[in-house]
Amino acid sequence: MTETMTFTWLCNECHLPVGDDRGYLAVDFEDIRKQRPSQWLAYHDRCREEEDSYWIPVEEVRDPRGAGRWTEHLSRKRRQLMAVAGFDARPHEVG
Ligand SMILES: [Zn+2]
């Protein structure tokens, strides 16, 4: 058993896990524009039409470091965006 923690993202449409290369995490541009708290939501490519959202490949955010890095990236992008919180993920140990 290792200390490594990985996130299993569940698709917001079908509620099945989203594997690497199979989906993305999206933040609604509307939330960013209105500077309201937002959250990453996971989707399979097949489950959602392209919409007005900022997205990153799901495999980029598989651990707390990746999550922190991308949250920071997005915060820098929109300085007033205070936090991208509410990770809908289930941490579990790998080992
Ligand atoms: Zn899905």
Q: What is the pTM of this model?
A: 0.68
Looking at 25-29, 77-81, 86-90, which range is the least confident one? 86-90
Q: What is the distance between the alpha carbons of residues 37 and 60, in angstroms, rounded to a whole number?
A: 21
Residue 89 confidence (pLDDT): 41
For residue 12, the CA-to-ligand 1 centroid distance in Å is 7
| For residues 8-24, average pLDDT | 95
For residue 45, the CA-to-ligand 1 centroid distance in Å is 8
Nearest to 27 by CA among 17, 19, 35: 35
Residue 71 confidence (pLDDT): 79
DSSP 82: -
For residue 63, the CA-to-ligand 1 centroid distance in Å is 20
For residue 67, the CA-to-ligand 1 centroid distance in Å is 21
For residue 1, the CA-to-ligand 1 centroid distance in Å is 30
